[in-house]
Chain A
Amino acid sequence: MQKILSVIKREYIQIIRTKGFIIGTILGPVLMAAFIVVPVVVQFISVDQQEKIGIIDETGEIFMDLEQKLDQKLKEGSRRYLLISYQLKDDVEALREDLNQKVLRKELSAYIYIPADISGGGEAEFVSEHVSDFDKRGNFNRALSSIVIEKRLRGEGLDPLKISEYTRPVVLVTKKVTKRGVERDTGGTFIISYFLVLVLYMTLLFYGQIILRGVIEEKSSRVVEVVLSSLTPFQLMAGKIVGIAAVGFTQYAIWALFGIVASQYSKKLITGFFPAAASFTMPSIPAYILVYFVLFFILGYFLYATMYAAIGSMVNSEKEAQQLIMPVVMFLVVPILLMMFVIKSPDSTFSVVLSMIPFFAPILMLLRICVLLPPFSQIAGSIILLVLSIVLMIWLVAKIYRVGILMYGKRPSFGEILKWIRYS
């Protein structure tokens, strides 16, 4: 046991120290945070400037309403859009040409042309050098539309307030019924399931690869037998697998800490800009899902880690390993491909059976738990099957590993591997 601890310690320290780990652990969340924070900040710094907008109002009735509607303020309190009305002269085209020149000379940032028949379906025009500012264009479009619609309604003798009252859309609230009662669901279930399952998938793949690389390094550097003069192959394998699991937990812990801090801070940041967002609650992950997540991570990790260790012991280089890795990776990819199906019908026979197969269970059973807590008997069943196959796998892999790590040269055939299992 003391020896396994030494191996665990070595694995842990060596990997924690690598650049890959530091970059992956620190930079990952920083990048994710940057995706959230940077757009908010950019929006904040880009728009703090008054813009002059020319208006040609052929109807002569819209300008005043428009000035009232477009009353967005800058931070220091003055109007964001300064609207300038241009009196209609005889020649509309000459006036428009004049304004085109003003826009090019940057005296105006844009002008809007409102035709006389706008209420009857005439097209208004927004003319600017920069026409890609959807935000600005949207503002004008909405303001103009609501003014024109009100005009039309009034023209028919209708009350615009009442009409908007009558045409208000119906609200459809999604609720999730569970054993513990009925809860309001804002789409969080889907996001959480998706997120947790992808994290599980990626870390299983990632740490499996680390184990594979570690075993191959031990073989190719010929350090294996030196180490085996002090401990058994099984102790070496166990130490490696547990040590790298510890690395995984460290990484999760750092991410979780980062996530908690970031979600506290980002909420403050977001509500600072959009007070309306205060009512929005971040989807929180129920505690029982976290417990199952950790459990299925551990079980899935041991199942896949042993397989990766076996493959590492059979080959001489990472290149050689790629072919053998394929079936193992397929076991991980299949549940990801079936994810949408399981989310849609989590309690269909097909989903239930799939989530009981040990290779798929870590991902699919977790998914089913997120989407719709299945009967406990099914969860327990999949865990028992998983544990049994881990025990079987460790027994099998220990035999392959024991022979494999001391074999150099040609990659063994399937028949030879069967022989190893029988002889050792």
Chain B
Amino acid sequence: MNALEIEDITKKFGDFYAVKDLSLKIPQQTIFGLLGPNGAGKTTTIRMVMNIIIPDKGSIRVLDKKMDEAMKERIGYLPEDRGLYPKMKVGEHLYFLSELKGLKGQEARKRIDLWLERFDLTDWKLKKVEELSRGMQQKIQFIATVIHDPELIILDEPFSGLDPVNTKLFKDIMLEMKKNGRTIIFSTHRMEQVEMICDNICLINKAKMVLEGNLSHIKKQYGKNSVVLDYDGDASFIQSLPEIEKIDDYGKFMEIKLKEQTDPQELLNTLVGKIRITKFEVMEPTLNAIFIEKVGEKDAKDTLSH
């Protein structure tokens, strides 16, 4: 069974296509990465899944049923534009949000206490939301997203603004939920996070899907003709070498895509003596490189440097 099936949805705002002819299938008990540059249509897609925006055409099935309001109780959604009522106390705010998901009474209170403890926020339960730091508020929002133990969890840019410790905490919980049979969809433009935890990905650009599938299959498909090089010295001459197809130079290291049928060994030979090499690794292309190739240099730079 698929946790989510999107078929041929389109949404137009005026003359502008936010999403065009998008289809997706997301199997249950997987972590799915929804990737794409800013303005590609990720948030609009997610909002259509959540029934917040109505698609102009196409159909959406969630957990094997047509999406409707009742389904919202089985989904946890952390929007990109997220916030809390500043004047409410943390405890009562979480209770309010879980009540909206149909979870109330003793059970709700028990779960709120457990989650606050896990996020080390027990002492803040009776404080007003406005007294919390942004990071703490984000943890509260995350708790609200999963408090009702949803079968499908949709997280729009869940890690933005989080410190590394909490990023790891979020990630651990996501993996744990997957182990418990839950399905997680999250959007991001931080590729290293995707590589670490995603099973499947989909890349959207300019309202359209440009790449979809199992992450390791996609990487294999791109072949083992990439080289990651860590170096010291002036490496600008590499650009003009005949065996090079493309270079992403980051100053201290570069990712090099070789032309087909080129032996990476030849490149190594050429480089020796000209620059100091601290690492030379032949590998599948990183998701970063695939992203750049698919989306185009300019769009990708805007997004990845964001």
Contacts and interface: CB of A to CB of B under 8 A. Distances in A.
Interface of A: 2-3, 6-7, 10, 14, 217-218, 221-233, 406, 408, 419, 423-424
Contacts of A14: 85, 87-88
Given A225-B79, A226-B141, A231 B85 contact: no
19 contacts: A2-B102, A14-B88, A217-B85, A221-B84, A222-B83, A223-B82, A225-B52, A225-B79, A225-B82, A229-B52, A229-B76, A230-B72, A230-B73, A230-B100, A232-B51, A233-B52, A406-B52, A408-B81, A424-B54
Given A10-B96, A14-B87, A226-B97, A231 B72 contact: yes
Given A10-B96, A221-B83, A230 B14 contact: no
Contacts of A227: 97, 100
B83 A226 contact: yes
A218 B81 CA distance: 11
A223 B84 contact: yes
B97 A230 contact: yes
Contacts of A218: 85
B245 interface: no
Contacts of A423: 13
Nearest to A405: B52
B50 A228 contact: yes
A227 B145 CA distance: 10
B81 A229 contact: no
B69 interface: yes
Nearest to A10: B96
A230 B101 contact: yes
B83 A223 contact: yes
Contacts of B69: 231-232
Contacts of B96: 6, 10
Contacts of A231: 69, 72, 100
Contacts of B145: 229
Which 4 pairs of residues, A with B, have the shortest CB-CB distance? A222-B83, A230-B100, A229-B77, A225-B79
B79 A221 contact: no
Contacts of B54: 424
Nearest to A420: B13
A229 B84 contact: no
A229 B148 CA distance: 13
B11 to A, nearest CB: 10
A149 to B, nearest CB: 71
B72 A226 contact: no
Nearest to B12: A423
Nearest to B87: A14
A2 to B, nearest CB: 7
Given A221-B86, A226-B141, A419-B14, 10 more contacts: A6-B100, A10-B96, A14-B88, A217-B85, A221-B85, A224-B81, A226-B97, A229-B50, A233-B52, A406-B52
B112 interface: no
A14 B93 CA distance: 11
* From A217, A222, A225, A232, residue with most partner B Cβ within 10 Å: A225
Contacts of A230: 72-73, 97, 100-101
B281 interface: no
B80 to A, nearest CB: 8
Interface in B86-100: 86-88, 96-97, 99-100
Given A10-B96, A231-B69, A406-B52, A226 B14 contact: no
A415 B272 CA distance: 66
B294 to A, nearest CB: 29
Nearest to A2: B102
B144 interface: yes
